[in-house]
Amino acid sequence: MEKETEHKTIEERVVALLQEKKFRISFAESCTGGLCCARLVNVPSASTVFDAGVVTYANEAKIRYLGVKPKTIETYGVVSESVAGEMAEGAAKMQNAQVGVGVSGIAGPDGGSKEKPVGMVCFGFYVDGTLVTETKQFGSIGRNRVREASAEFVFETLERLLQEAGGCAG
């Protein structure tokens, strides 16, 4: 059984954990443009755990489809842990899912500032009622590499958080 786990992709392991916990997942993506959803649906049994994914590039879309508060965007900026957290929670709650992921960042090559440089990505993970946020600085490694690194970080973090989470199994 141990060897079988070693050969599974991280997406397969995340799907298996979601199945084991009887959790459903939804994504709210901005700079990753749906890459997290695409990686999840590479797993044949993803339909057993995946509810929805929305790509909300515009601030108005984050507000309309995810319930992000305009005041949060105004206060912290769209690339912030506060917004990513509201995106994650909104993605979960709008779909009655136990897990929501929010991603907002600056993939580049333009759009960065001293405070928020290119390669800065904020993440929100809403898992069974608990919200965790984190910011990663991937650097100016190129737009698609920032997106890929962000998606990889999402799955690594999901795997860890799901291993730590309780569950509805029983």
Residues 144-162 pLDDT 10s: 999 999 999 999 999 999 9
Count of CB atoms situated within 10 Å of the CB of 134: 14
pLDDT of 136 higher than 80: yes
**Distance of alpha carbon 119 from alpha carbon 126, whole angstroms:** 23
Residue 7 has what pLDDT?
83
User: With 80 as the cut, is the pLDDT of residue 129 above it?
Assistant: yes
What is the pairing mode between strands 120-127 and 130-137? antiparallel
- pLDDT band at 167; cut points 50, 70, 90: low
Alpha helices in 22-165 (DSSP H): 35-40, 59-66, 70-76, 81-95, 143-164
The two tokens of residue 122 are 């904020």
So what's the pLDDT on residue 10? 98
